[in-house]
Structure formats: C-alpha cells, structure tokens
Chain A
Amino acid sequence: MTRPVLELKELNKSFGALHVTKNVSLAVNPGECHAVIGPNGAGKTTLIGQICGALPSSSGDVVFDGENVNGLSVANRALRGLGRSFQITAILPAFSVLENVALGVQAKAGHSYRFFKPAARDRDLNAKAEHCLDLVGLSGRAGVRAGDLSHGEKRVLELAIALAGEPKLLLLDEPMAGAGPDETARLVEVLSDLKRQTPMLLVEHDMDAVFKLADRISVLVYGEIIASGSVEEIRGNPAVREAYLGTEEGV
C-alpha cells in the first residue's frame, strides 16, 4: 500500500455559527485523479482554501506528502509541491506566456533574490519553462502576451505554471469553468496525459469531464462528504442522485 500524497483528516471549518466544512476526510493516492463534486454552496471553495493554506482550519489535519502542513503558509505549501489552478484564472497578463512559466520555474529554484543577471535571458529558466509549455501543448504561443490568450489557452497556461513548480499534487479548482466545448475537450486531453505523472485533486462542475478523468469521486453536500467511491459507484448511488445529480441534471 503506497502512502497517499494528500490526506485530509477530520477537517472542519466554521465562520462564527456557520459550520462550512464538516469532518471532511479524504485521500489522494499517487497516480490517481480524485474528484470532489458538489452543488453550489457545498463548501468546495472553503475546502480548497483550507488545503492550499489560505484559510486556517478550525480543527483537523492536512497531511501533504507525509507531513502535517497545518501551520504552513500558502507559499510554503506551494514550495513543497502543492500546485494549483484557480477558479477565476490567475495568470500574469502583462508577462509573456514563457515569462509566466519561467517565474514558476524560478520560484521552484528558490533563490529569487538575484539582482543582476537578466532573467529573460536565463537559459536554465527558459529551457525548463519551454518544457512545461510543451507538456501542455502551448509551445507555439510562448512569445504571446498572456493577457492576449484565449480563455481556454489561459486555463492551459495555468496548468503549465503549476507544472513548472514540479508539483507532487495538482489542486485544480474548476479548470473547465467558462471554457467552451472544444476547449473543454482539449483540457480533458491535457489533464488525462498529466495525471499519469502527477496526482490530482479535481474540483469540477462539468460532470462529463469528471467522469472521464476521475478515478475516484467524493461528493460534498453542505460541507459533508456524503459518498465516496469509483465513478460507477457514484453514478449508481441513489443518495448522490438525489442530492446532487438530480438537481444539476438540467444545467
């Protein structure tokens, strides 16, 4: 039995009287894509905040790569290999595509307190950045200003930036949000290539994409995991159908 990359143990979060995350426990194993689905307001955003370190948990543990990371900041968790994409794309629009990724490489390398060598002509940074762009199929757009990319390309760029940090886990917050059908198809393709190397925790609304990518699915409703299992088990679970699929089917 291999050790999980990420393990949430009895995680809770309350804002005053509002109990948003209730005893959430789940694990992401090497080589797997674990999807978390749930209707709007299920507490997915809060859960992601707790995992990446933006929100302190009220109780419970986040164990990443065998280490309890509860007290660590967002930046520290990222350096330990927690790569992420945002629900609302967060790229650096004024930088070129290559520079966006090169900054990720630079962050991973650690020493950004380098004052004199021009970063744009740094071969090490650029070579690694180009490799990451290659992985997601964005090499052809390296010189483009990131803000000028199409929406779908921006989402792919986010993945490349995350990959530059050589992540041990990708935390993907609705990567398909706002993407058209073609773009979604491309993203699914890129992600299914990636998941062989990098395990993922995928939070997503697009059920087709989830069923294509996920090895395991957990269903979050009102901050609680009401079911967890393989794609088939979740599809067949009547409680899930009622709580989630039933309400979302028309969407």
Chain B
Amino acid sequence: MNGIREIMRSRAVPVILFTVLALVPVYAAVFDDRFLMLFATRILILAIAALSLDFILGLGAMVSFGHAAFIGLGAYAVGILAYHDIWAAWISFPAAILVCALFAAITGAISLKTRGVYFIMITLAFGQMAYYTATSLSAYGGDDGLTMWGRSEFLGTGLFENDTAFYCLVLAILLAAYVFLKVLAASRFGRVLKGAKQSEARLQAIGIDPFGYRLAAYVIAGSIAGIAGALLANQAEFVSPAYMSWHRSGELIVMVVLGGLGYLHGAILGAIAYLVFEEVLSHYTQHWRLIFGPLLILVVLYARGGILGAIKGKSS
C-alpha cells in the first residue's frame, strides 16, 4: 500500500503539471489569448534548458554556470543556417545538437577535471567565451544579433509557423526530454551519477571513476539545452549574444533551485514560477529586480527545498 501511495505521490505532480500545460492551448483558443500562447511557448523553451541543467546540477552536483552558452550555440546554429538560406529543421536541429555536444565535450573534459569553485569559475569562463565570440561575429550581426526572416520548416508542414502547433511541438519536446532524463536517472548510468554526488571516494573504491559518467551527462545536458536554443531562435525569429550572457546562466540555476533540485519536473515548475514572477512583477515596476534580488537571497537562506520542497513538506 505504502509503495503505491509513494508512486502516486511522486507521479502526481508531473502528471498534473503536464496535463495543465497540455490544456493551455485550449484555454488560449477559448479566450483568444495570443499573448498567453507566445508567453507559454517561451516558458516551455526555457523549461527545457532548465530541465537539462537540473540533470547535471541536481543529480550530479555539477554547478555549471555556463549553461546559457548551449542555448546560444543552438540558437546560432539555426540562425546562421537560416542566414545561408537553409531552413529545413531536419538539418538545423541536428546541427544545433552536434555543435552543443561538441562544445560540451571539449569544455566538459577540461572543467570536469576540477572540483568546487574551480568548476564554477571555469564553466562561467567558457560560457563567457562563447558570449564574446558571438559578439565578435560581425558577419552574423555581432553585438546586435541576427534577425531571422522566418522560421524553420519541417517537411512543408508549417509546424513552426502556427503559434499553437509550435507550442505543441515545444511541449512534446519538453515531455520527451523529461521522460528521457527520468529514464536515464533511474538507469545504472544515473545511479553512478547520483552516487558520485554523495561520495566520490566510495565510487573510486568500488572501481568506478566518475569522470566519464559526468562528462557523458554534461554532453547530454548540453545537447538538450542546444535544442532549447534552436527552438528559442524560432520563437523569437532572432538570435543574439544576449542569450548566452552569464546572467542567463544564473537565471537557469535560479529556476532549477526555485523549483526544487534534482527532481527534473522541479526545474519545469521553477522555470514557470520564475518567468511568471518576472512578468507579473515587471508590470508593477520596471525595477522589479530590486524586489527579486533580495527575495532570491531569502529563498537561499531560508527555503532551500524550493517549490517541490514546500509541497513535500506539507504532504508528509
């Protein structure tokens, strides 16, 4: 009985979450709310990125402060291809994934050799490297970014053009990424990651060097964030170095922690909470950061479990 209850409880939040997300287009259609559709699409795209970050940060304790770089690289892959008049999604999306996987493999191999504050600073530095490189690409807009005069095409279906269809595509990708990472987390591979977070010495002593596993996780997370970037480029029809500024990386970490570290769906909740909060607050004052900054400090000092921590705390 207890086991079933446990499963019900652990599955209830994600099931409700995805059901609500699936109902958003219906609501938007009924009330003819185009803004909601666009806003929700943006939220889900960033949720994909936050989800991938939670996989390495929450499960593997890798405090990567350069995750926004992958969003930017994915976006630039799509944008640059579009600039050269290549619009087919089946080319640009794999290209985005490939670029991100490669960047993750190289920078990960270097930064994962280190621990603690070194790792944080190095991922931050590599993220900044991607940012500055993008600003110096004068052929592709440099500082000002690159406007895409259209969206990716998928076998002539207009999947990317229609707001509702695009939302559904993003939601499907989010769900797929969520299930994929959930399965990984429960596998032998995931067990090694979670174990390495708790005691590296223990893993070494049973014969596992966590480096390769961490690197594989880092590459997977980077690739998924790259997909988010490719989607973001399509959503905004614009690509900019600002996508990879280190403030963006910080925001992704905030989302993950806000939702509750290490549950994966917590990252989705966190992305929703963060962006809705920003939207609402910025309605009242353009200086919403004056409120958000101290609030973030208070959350860190007094409410470490995030949203899921609060839900769990109530139910148990």
Contacts and interface: CB of A to CB of B under 8 A. Distances in A.
A75 interface: yes
B183 A118 contact: yes
Given A92-B195, A103-B195, A74 B204 contact: yes
Interface in B189-215: 189-192, 194-195, 198-199, 201-209, 212-213
A78 B201 CA distance: 12
Interface in B45-68: none
B113 interface: no
B206 A112 contact: no
A74 B195 CA distance: 17
B194 A91 contact: no
A162 B202 CA distance: 10
B1 to A, nearest CB: 15
Q: Name the residue in B186, B188, B203, B204 with the highest tally of chain A Cβ atoms < 10 Å from its Cβ.
A: B188
B206 A103 contact: yes
Contacts of A164: 206
B191 A99 contact: yes
Q: Name the residue in B189, B202, B204, B206 with the highest tally of chain A Cβ atoms < 10 Å from its Cβ.
A: B206
Given A92-B195, A94-B198, A95-B198, A52 B188 contact: no
A93 interface: yes
Which range contains the number of B residues in contact with the other chain? Answer: 20 to 34
Contact of A165 (B207, B212, B216): B207
> Top 9 closest A-B pairs, CB basis?
A78-B207, A79-B207, A75-B209, A74-B204, A92-B198, A107-B206, A90-B202, A114-B188, A118-B186
B138 interface: no
A107 B194 contact: no
A35 B160 CA distance: 71
Contacts of B207: 75-76, 78-79, 107-108, 165
A115 B213 CA distance: 11
B263 to A, nearest CB: 13
Contacts of B191: 99, 102-103, 106, 112, 119
A93 to B, nearest CB: 6
Contacts of A123: none
Interface of B: 183-184, 186-192, 194-195, 198-199, 201-209, 212-213, 216
18 contacts: A75-B207, A75-B209, A78-B207, A84-B205, A86-B205, A90-B202, A90-B205, A95-B194, A103-B191, A103-B208, A106-B188, A114-B188, A115-B184, A116-B187, A117-B187, A119-B191, A161-B202, A162-B206
Nearest to A147: B198
Nearest to B213: A112
Q: Name the residue in B190, B205, B209 with the highest tally of chain A Cβ atoms < 10 Å from its Cβ.
A: B205
Given A90-B199, A92-B199, A118-B183, A113 B204 contact: no
Nearest to A121: B186
A120 B201 contact: no
A92 B187 contact: no
A75 B201 contact: no
A54 B205 CA distance: 10
A40 interface: no
Nearest to B182: A118
A75 B205 CA distance: 6
Nearest to B196: A92
Contacts of A120: 186
A130 B87 CA distance: 55
Secondary structure at the B interface, as helix, strand, loop or mixed, is: helix
Nearest to A109: B188
A29 B38 CA distance: 72
A156 to B, nearest CB: 15
Interface of A: 52, 54, 73-76, 78-79, 83-84, 86, 90-95, 99, 102-104, 106-108, 111-120, 122, 125, 161-162, 164-165
Q: Name the residue in B187, B203, B207 with the highest tally of chain A Cβ atoms < 10 Å from its Cβ.
A: B207
Contacts of B190: 119
Contact of B187 (A86, A104, A108, A119): A119
Contacts of B216: 113
B262 to A, nearest CB: 10
Contacts of A94: 194, 198
Contact of B206 (A54, A122, A161): A161
A54 B216 CA distance: 24
Contacts of B201: 86, 90
A82 to B, nearest CB: 9
A100 B187 CA distance: 14
B206 A116 contact: no
A106 B199 CA distance: 16
A119 B188 contact: yes
Contact of A112 (B183, B186, B208): B208
Contacts of B183: 115-116, 118
Contacts of A76: 207
Contacts of B208: 75, 103, 107, 112
Contacts of A93: 198
A157 to B, nearest CB: 11
A165 B206 CA distance: 7
Nearest to A53: B204
